[in-house]
Amino acid sequence: MNNTVLITGCSTGIGYVCAHALVKEGFDVIASCRKDEDVARLQQEGLHCIKLDLADTASILSAVETVKAHTGGTLYGLFNNGAYGQPGALEDLPTDALRDQFEANFFGWHTLTQAVIPMMHANGKGRIIQNSSVLGIIALKFRGAYNASKFAIEGWTDTIRLELADTPIQISLIEPGPIESRFRANALAAFHRAINIDTSRFTNAYLSQKDRLESEHSTNKYTLPAEAIVPPLLHALTAATPKIRYRVTKPTQYMALCKRLLPSRMLDKILAKGG
């Protein structure tokens, strides 16, 4: 039986750790990265790695053809993981920066998932796992672009789960909170590309954000290593009835509860202290 799983965003962090972990569990893993040098590095480590840039439709479709050739036109699993965070207050954020955020974090996921679903139908089964975020549940200031992309992924995933209910394809969301990865470094680069600190009314807040993003390690005491995503991913891939949502880290579990129980204005007061 085909047990091939395609994972996006494998150069570092969650994708990298999960690709290696699934290989050890006996899965046929196709890891993907958007940069040639990362593809070469992962291939040297023994992973089957291909190039896939989620912001480039031609790259996505080319990667899908490679997956078809490798699997004989079938595919068991897709772990949509590749994404980045675009910091900045929404009033300062250029529309093109928001478009770029959605191209990589949302439209690319749609294009890829839409392209591989026929292979899962051909396989007679399939699992789609979406790596969302606590910021797909609640919003924090200066994270508006990323918030919007993850809220969109949550709604998209809930919809396609209903549409796939009459098929053997099952879909799950993993909702991490703080996870140790290169996410801050990538966000810092996006911040510098899009935001002019000096002309904003948020200059002081941005300087604080910049200090946080420049930190090599998270200061959040609830931060977990990327390995924390492996158990829920394995369960989503192997359980007869996978969960619809896997909430990883205490902040995610706490915020999901607060969102359900607290009045919006009370929740706003809590969230306003974050960011």
How far is residue 174 from each of residues 16, 79, 184, 192, 234, measured CA to CA in Å?
A: 16, 10, 19, 29, 11
206 is catalytic: no
Q: Which of 84, 146, 206, 246 is catalytic?
A: 146
Residue 265 CB coordination number (10 Å): 7
Q: For residue 143, what are the β-bridge partners?
A: 88
Torsion, Cα 171 105 14 46, to 10 degrees, reads 90
Are the C-beta atoms of 78 and 129 separated by less than 8 Å? yes
How much of the chain is in helix, strand and coil states, percent to nearest 5?
Answer: 55, 15, 30
Separation of alpha carbons 54 and 275, rounded Å: 27
Are the C-beta atoms of 259 and 138 separated by less than 8 Å? yes
**CA-based diameter of the chain, in Å?**
58
Residue 171's contacts (CB-CB under 8 Å, 6 or more residues apart) are 127, 128, 129, 130, 157, 160, 161, 164
Residue 122's contacts (CB-CB under 8 Å, 6 or more residues apart) are 73, 74
- Residues annotated as catalytic are 146
